[in-house]
Amino acid sequence: MSTEESPGRLRVSIVIPAIDEEESLPLVLGDIPRELVHEVLVVDNGSTDDTVRVAEEGGARVVREPRRGYGSACLAGIAAADDPDVIIILDGDYSDFPDDLPQIIDPILADDADLVIGSRSNPGCEPGALLPQAAFGNWLACFLIRIFFRRRFTDLGPFRAIRRTSYDSLGMVDTNFGWNVEMQIKAIFRGLRIVEVPVRYRKRVGQSKITGTISGTVRAGWKILWTIFRYGILRR
């Protein structure tokens, strides 16, 4: 791909895992720069609110995945995407700024990266948006990745872009909270060109699902650390 390649010529699919996000999804969908995007998929795992309706009204295609979990939703959404060249993952709670999409996608368009991770470790992160337990967990995970795999990251941020061929080479399997860290570790193993870019982040709209709850924090923290140790030992 050349630096002149226009986004319009690349097929960009956005995958949004969402469960009970009827309040935030219209805002997320409304802020996506559609001229950069081929399609938007919302992956639902049995929301009991109007998530599916607002997703469709907002112009997204809804993918229904019976298996619960953030990773399951990402796997299902990407599998259902319409032959994309680039896959974007974005949270449905309006914490990420969808209008930061150009920053996320530019390194891939310029052929400088295969995986781009939006890092919230910068002044554009609204105070309090990244809960203390999430900030600490990210710091610890990045520290351990540096020890085990000799690669420096500043975040395991959810807003990211990956070239489709690179994604296919990873063989992603995690069905829940280990998804992001699995992708980063496998990207190191496969020698992908990984670039971090600063992105903004704000307090979520609607009810917290993971780090805003004690059980979610414990389960996510445990799974992320276990994933790092597991791949650290297996080294493949």
CB of 152 to ligand GTP, least distance (A): 22
SS3 label, residue 178: coil
Binding mask 90-119 for Mg ion (x = CB under 5 A): ---x-x------------------------
- For Mg ion, give the closer residue by CB, 93 or 196: 93
CB of 1 to ligand GTP, least distance (A): 29
Provide the H-helix boundaries in the chain.
Answer: 25-31, 51-57, 70-80, 101-109, 132-149, 164-170, 179-189, 214-234
| Axis crossing angle, helix 132-149 with helix 179-189, rounded to the nearest 10 | 20
Q: Which of 19, 81, 89, 183 contacts ligand GTP by CB under 6 A? A: 19
What is the C-alpha separation between 198 and 106, in angstroms, rounded?
13
Pairing of β 160-163 and β 86-89: antiparallel
CB of 148 to ligand GTP, least distance (A): 23
Query: What amino acid occupies position 100?
Result: D
Does position 45 bind ligand GTP by CB under 6 A? yes
Residues that bind ligand GTP (CB under 6 A): 17-19, 21, 43-45, 68-70, 73, 91-93, 95, 204, 208-212
